[in-house]
Structures are given as structure tokens and as C-alpha cells.
């Protein structure tokens, strides 16, 4: 069998939104080919490309949604991106060609490329190759990450990333493990490293009533973020139920069915906690 996976697929690379449910697009790819692809970064496993986003970084963005995530956030909107094998195998050249189509428009609209997921750093070599190609085309680069694998990036890699959008889920280590099944410290260590290098970050915080709305916990995140000195803005993202159908369709136990989005008053109060530490928060 060839070492190159078949990449023709009835599923188009572009999706209307990341809320399209996509599964098992790599189910026939042998493990050794997946491993080789991760080692070389010559093939990415992607949920999709979307265009025209105004909420995933500065200006208007093309977003590459990667497959694979080591977190299991209870509120995840895209659990179909947890498994690498749900992603579509996309050779680097094809991803670069796709990006090239948008180059002029992105530059005109002061936008760029955002790589999100899933967790992009599960495929850090592919991500860095795509960012390097984007930079060579004069396209602004942003990564949206939970930061857990930040240590996979060299300082040289960081040079190629214009903006890091870092998700901080909660402060308390126990609560973080309950919420994501993983430790919070690697995320915080990545934030400190970016701060030491004066690299620009936006912090993303998902506000979920009953889960992440402990105001003392939020104050701890705010104090940490305010002390970093490199946080350009904080985005407080109100929880919603748009991805809940995916849990059901994937047969995953979803525990937040009864949870309502936070009130505008609570969201504003949380923004106020971040602002009280000298941060810009929306
Ligand atoms: S880090 Fe993001 S993609 Fe991963 S489980 Fe959490 S919300 Fe979902």
C-alpha cells in the first residue's frame, strides 16, 4: 500500500461553519501513515476550512479547524474534533493552495489565517509548515490553542505566529481536571513563556453558569492575566448550546443539557473582573 493516504473525499474541505458534524474521514488511514504524517507535518488531519470569520482573530479570517484534542471539555462545541481519525487527511500543498485563493482578500480586509481546532498543537509540525507558508505570502497568522502542548513549539516557531489566542478554562487545578480531564499548569506555563518573550496574546474564557462562573476563580485568572503584561485583550465567551447536538449524535454523555447561557449582566460582571486588573475585556 502506498504511504500516501487517499485524499479525495466526497466531503468538501470548506465547511459553512465548524458546527458541521464531521466524522471518520481518516478511518482507513493506517496508523503508521498517521504517525509519519504527524512526524513530518506533510499531511494535516483537518475538520475543515471556513472563511469570513470575524471572531477568530483580527479582521476577517480564514480558519483551519484541525482534528485531535487532548482535552475533553464538558462544554466543548466541537467534540467531533477530539479524534484525529475524524479529520480529513489534507496534504500541506493542498492546504497552501487553498489559502492562496484568499490571500488578496485577507490582506485587503486586514485579516489572516487562524488555525484552531480541536487542538492545533496536536499536529504542531503541520501547523508550523502552514504558518510558514502563510507568512511567506504576507498573511497574518494566529493560533487558537489550549496551550497544553506549548512546549512543542520552539522559540523559532513562535517567531512565525503573530498572535496566540489562549484558552484558559478555569484557575483551580481540581476544577480544571474535572472540566477538561487535564492539568492547567502547562497552559499557564505557556502563557508565562509568551509573556517573557513579549508575544501578543488574547485570552479566551468560556463562561458557563454553574461550571466556570465562580467569581473568585475568575478573579485569579484575571490577576494572572493582568500580571503577564502581554495580554492585548480578553474575550469572555458566553456558553451556548450550538454544539450540543454533536454530543448526542456521537453517543457522548452530555451533562450540560439544562444549562442556560449566562445573562448579559453576568457576562458584563465577569468582563468587569478582568478590566479591574487593567485588561481590555469584551
Ligand atoms: S480544548 Fe477546545 S476542542 Fe478541546 S475539548 Fe476543549 S473546547 Fe473542545
pLDDT at 4: 46
Q: Whose CA is nearest to atom 7 of ligand 1?
A: 76
Task: Answer whether residue 2 shows pLDDT above 80.
Answer: no
Q: Whose CA is nearest to atom 6 of ligand 1?
A: 73
According to DSSP, the residues that pair with 48 across neighbouring strands are 65
Q: What's the CA dihedral at 130, 136, 141, 144 to 10 degrees?
A: 10
How far does residue 125's CA lie from ligand 1's centre (Å)? 20
Task: Answer whether residue 109 shows pLDDT above 70.
Answer: yes
Name every protein residue with a CB atom under 6 angstroms from any ligand 1 atom: 69, 71-73, 76, 78, 81, 117-119, 146
pLDDT at 11: 77
- The pLDDT confidence band at residue 6, using thresholds 50, 70 and 90, is very low
How far does residue 79's CA lie from ligand 1's centre (Å)? 7
- Model pLDDT for residues 36-45, shown as the tens digit of each residue: 999 999 999 9
35 burial level (CB within 10 Å; 0-12, 13-18, 19+):
exposed
How far does residue 120's CA lie from ligand 1's centre (Å)? 10
Mean pLDDT for the chain overall: 94
Q: State the Cα–Cα distance between residues 181 and 124, nearest whole angstrom.
A: 21
- In 3D space, the residue among 149, 103, 96 whose CA is nearest the CA of residue 122 turns out to be 149
Q: Which of 48, 68, 75, 117 to mutate to test the pocket of ligand 1 (most atoms within 8 A of CB)?
A: 117
- Model pLDDT for residues 46-95, shown as the tens digit of each residue: 999 999 999 999 999 999 999 999 999 999 999 999 999 999 999 999 99
Q: Which ligand 1 atom sits nearest the alpha carbon of residue 75? A: 7
- Model pLDDT for residues 149-173, shown as the tens digit of each residue: 999 999 999 999 999 999 999 999 9
Q: Considering the entire predicted model, what is its pTM?
A: 0.93
- In 3D space, the residue among 148, 270, 181, 167 whose CA is nearest the CA of residue 217 turns out to be 270
- The pLDDT confidence band at residue 237, using thresholds 50, 70 and 90, is very high
pLDDT at 1: 37
Q: State the Cα–Cα distance between residues 150 and 191, nearest whole angstrom.
A: 9
Strands 43-53, 88-91: pairing is antiparallel
The grid cell for 15 is 465547511
Amino acid at each position: 500500500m502506498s504511504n500516501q493516504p487517499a485524499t479525495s473525499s466526497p466531503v468538501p474541505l470548506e465547511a459553512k461553519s465548524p458546527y458541521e458534524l464531521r466524522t471518520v474521514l481518516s478511518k482507513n488511514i493506517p496508523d503508521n501513515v498517521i504517525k509519519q504524517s504527524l512526524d513530518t507535518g506533510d499531511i494535516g488531519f483537518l475538520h475543515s476550512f471556513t472563511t469570513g470569520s470575524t471572531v477568530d482573530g483580527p479582521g476577517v479570517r480564514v480558519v483551519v479547524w484541525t482534528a485531535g484534542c487532548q482535552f475533553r471539555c464538558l462544554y466543548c462545541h466541537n467534540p467531533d474534533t477530539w479524534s484525529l481519525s475524524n479529520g480529513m487527511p489534507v496534504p500541506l500543498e493542498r492546504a497552501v493552495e487553498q489559502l492562496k485563493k484568499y490571500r488578496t482578500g485577507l490582506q485587503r480586509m486586514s485579516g489572516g489565517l487562524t488555525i484552531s481546532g480541536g487542538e492545533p498543537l496536536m499536529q504542531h509540525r503541520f501547523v508550523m509548515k502552514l504558518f510558514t507558508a502563510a507568512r511567506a505570502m504576507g498573511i497574518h497568522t494566529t493560533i487558537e490553542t489550549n496551550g497544553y502542548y506549548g512546549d512543542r513549539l520552539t522559540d523559532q516557531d513562535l517567531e512565525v505566529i503573530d498572535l496566540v489566542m489562549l484558552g484558559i478554562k478555569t484557575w483551580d487545578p481540581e476544577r480544571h481536571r474535572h472540566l477538561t480531564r487535564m492539568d492547567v499548569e502547562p497552559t499557564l506555563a505557556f502563557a508565562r513563556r509568551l509573556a517573557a518573550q513579549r508575544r501578543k496574546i488574547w485570552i479566551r474564557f468560556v463562561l458557563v453558569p454553574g461550571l466556570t462562573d465562580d467569581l473568585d476563580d475568575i478573579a485569579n485568572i484575571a490577576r494572572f492575566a493582568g500580571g503577564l503584561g502581554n495580554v492585548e485583550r480578553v474575550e469572555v465567551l458566553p456558553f451556548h448550546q450550538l454544539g450540543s447536538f454533536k454530543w448526542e449524535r456521537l453517543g457522548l454523555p452530555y451533562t450540560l443539557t439544562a444549562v442556560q447561557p449566562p445573562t448579559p449582566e453576568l457576562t458584563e460582571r465577569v468582563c468587569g473582573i478582568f478590566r479591574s486588573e487593567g485588561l481590555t475585556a469584551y
